[in-house]
Chain A
Amino acid sequence: MNGRSNNRREITLRTREALYGYGFILLWIVGFALFMAVPLVQTLNYSFNQVTVTASGINLEFSEWANYSRALFTDPNFIELLIGYTVETLVSVPIVLIFAMIIALFLNVKFRLKGLFRIIFFLPIVITSGPVIKELTAQGAASAPGIANIPAVVEFLATLPPALRSPVQYLLTSFILILWFSGVQILIYLSSLQKIDRSIYEAAAIDGASSWEIFWKIVLPSLSTATVVNAVYTVVTLSHFSENKVIRYIYDQTYDVHGGIGYASAMAFLYFGLMVILLALVYFFLMKWASRGTR
C-alpha cells in the first residue's frame, strides 16, 4: 500500500517535472513549427510545382521533378556554382581550422601584450558581414598582401589546368577573408586548450618529451572534439554567408521572370543536400582522424 502510493507520487513528480520542462521550451516548439517546420515543408512543396504569385495569392501547378532536372541538367550556371562552392568550402575549412588552431596555441601561451593580440584576432567576429566583405573584395583588399597582382603570379595561374586554377585563384584573392572566418573557432579551440590539465604537460616534460612531441601526442588529440565542432561550424557559416554565390544566384532566380519561386526552392534543396554531404564528409573524415588520435 505504502509502496504503491510512493510509486504514484514518484510518477506524478516526474510528470510535473516533464510538464515544467515542456513549459520552458514551449515558445521554442511553437516557433519551430511556425518558422521552420511549416515553411520547410512548403518550400519542398513549391519545389515540385510551377509557382506563380498573383495579387490574390499563389498558384501552384504540379510539375513533378521539372524544377530539379532543370537545375541539374539544363541550367548552365547552377552546377558550375555548386562545383565552385564545393571547391571553396573544401579549401577554406582546413585553412580556417589550422589557422584557428595556431592562433589559439599562441594565445594560450603567457606573454606580455597578450590582451592586445586577443583583441586583434577576435576583431573579425564583429565586422564580418556580407556588404563589408563585398566592398573589400571589390577593392582587392582581401587578397594575400600584394601577391595576386604580381604579373608573374598571373602568368603562373594561366599555365595551371582549369581544375587547379580556381582553387588557387580563390586562395590568392580571398586568403585574408578565409582567415576572417576563424574568430569563433579560435575561441572554441582556446577553451579546449585551457581545459587540458597543466600537470600532463609537466609529467610529459619530466619524461623527456619535447614540445613537438607534446603537441602531437597530447595537445592535438585533446583538441579533436573542438576540431569536429569547428569544422561543422565553419562549413555552416561559409554555406550560409550572404555573399555566397550560390545563395545570391538562388535569391536572384526567386524574383526572375524565367526562374520563379518553384525553381528557386528546388535549387535551395539541392544546395542543402550538397551542404549536408559536405558536412558528413568533413565530419566522418575528422571523426576517423580523431579516433586514430586517441588510440
Chain B
Amino acid sequence: MSFLHHPFADYLRSVLLGNRARRGLVYSIVLYALLIAIGFVYLQPLLFMFITSIKSASDLLNPMVQWVPTELFLGNYEKALRVLDYPNTLLTSILISVIPSLLQTVVCSLVGYGLARYRFRGKTLVFLLLLSTFIIPPQNTVIPQMLMYRDLGLLGNPLALILPALLGQGYKSAIFVLIFYQGFLSLPKVLEESARLDGASDIRIFFSIAVPSALPAYIVSFIFSIVWYWNETFLTVIFLEGGVTTLPMQLSKFTQAYENMYPPGTVNIFDRLNEAVKMSGTFLNILPLLVLYFILQRWFVESVEMTGITGE
C-alpha cells in the first residue's frame, strides 16, 4: 500500500494521467493518435489522388504497388496538361472566379451595412428573402435566366455570371451578406456617430470608417467567394457552355477531351486513358486552390474569429 503513495509513484501518476495543472502523457498520446488517425482517413482521397497520378502504366497494373510507386512518373501530368488545355482554362477559371467575387464582396458589404446600421420598414422581409435565396435550389430559377441570356446574346459570355454578382445575387451571396451584417453589427457605433456630428455624409462614413474597420470580413468573403465560384459547375456549365471553358468544366468532360486527342483505336496501350491520367487532371484542377489555401490558410482557419460570425 505504501508503494502507491511513494513520491515517485505520485510523480509517475501525474505525468501519465495528468493533474489539475497539466495534461497527462496518456491523454496526450490518445489525443494525437486520434487526430492523426482521423486526419489520415480524412485526407486519404487526396493522398490516393496524388499517388495514383504519379504512377506509370506498369505501376498501375502491378498489384504489389499500392501506396509507394516505384518511380516518379510525370507523363500523366504531361497528358493531363494538354487535355485540360491548362494555360487557357486556368486563366479563364481565375477570371471567372475573381471578377464576380470582387463585385459580390463589394455589393454584399453594402447590403450588410444597410441592414446593420439603418432602421427601415420591411427589414424582416428582406432577411426572409435573403434566406430564401440561400435555400431555393438553382434549378428552380436557372431556366428562365438562361432563356433571358439567350435572348440578350449573353450565353457563353462571362457577363452571365458577372451581372448577378453585381446585383447581389451571386453564388451563395446570402452567406456573405450575413457575414457583413454580423461584422458591421459588432463594430462600435461611436466612431460613426461622432463623424456624423462632424458633418460627414453617410457614404463618406461608410467608406472611410466602416470599410476599413471591417477589412477582415472583406478578405474572408473575397477568399471564400473565389473558392466557391471556382468550384461551382452547375451554373457555369449552363451559362458558359459554348463560350469560355473553366478548369472544372474541362475536367467534367475529361474523358471525351482525352479521346479526341488520343483516339482509343489508334494509340498504343500505354497511351489509353487510365486512372492515373484522370487523377493527374483532378489534381491539376485543385492545385491552384491548394496553393491559395496554403498561402492564405490563416484567413480560412481564423475566419470565424476575424469576422465575428456567431451562429445566429
Contacts and interface: CB of A to CB of B under 8 A. Distances in A.
Interface string B45-63: 1101100100000000000
A236 B134 contact: yes
A121 interface: yes
A275 interface: yes
Given A31-B169, A43-B143, A24 B119 contact: no
A200 B131 CA distance: 34
Given A18-B119, A135-B278, A188-B311, A129 B137 contact: no
The residue in A30, A145, A191 that gathers the most chain B C-beta atoms within 10 A of its C-beta is: A191
Interface centre among B49, B123, B231 (most CB of A within 10 A): B231
A83 interface: no
Contact residue range for chain B?
35 or more
Interface size class of A (residues with CB under 8 A): 35 or more
B312 to A, nearest CB: 7
Given A23-B114, A126-B286, A195-B310, A272 B137 contact: yes
Contacts of B72: none
A136 B138 contact: no
Nearest to A224: B311
Contacts of A119: 293-294, 297, 301
Interface in A218-252: 225-226, 229, 236, 239-240, 242, 247, 250-251
Interface stretch (A32-40, A69-77, A88-96): A32-40
Interface in A13-70: 14, 17-18, 20-25, 27-32, 34-36, 38-40, 42-43, 46, 53, 58
Contacts of A268: 137, 139-140
Interface in B265-312: 275, 278-279, 281-282, 285-286, 289-290, 292-294, 297, 300-301, 303-305, 309-312
23 contacts: A20-B114, A20-B202, A24-B111, A24-B206, A27-B107, A28-B126, A32-B133, A35-B141, A35-B167, A38-B144, A53-B147, A117-B39, A125-B227, A126-B286, A131-B282, A135-B49, A136-B45, A136-B49, A139-B48, A141-B45, A141-B49, A142-B45, A261-B143
Interface of A: 14, 17-18, 20-25, 27-32, 34-36, 38-40, 42-43, 46, 53, 58, 103, 106, 109, 111, 115, 117-132, 134-136, 138-139, 141-142, 144-145, 176-177, 179-180, 187-188, 190-192, 194-195, 225-226, 229, 236, 239-240, 242, 247, 250-251, 254, 261, 264-265, 268-269, 271-272, 275-276, 279
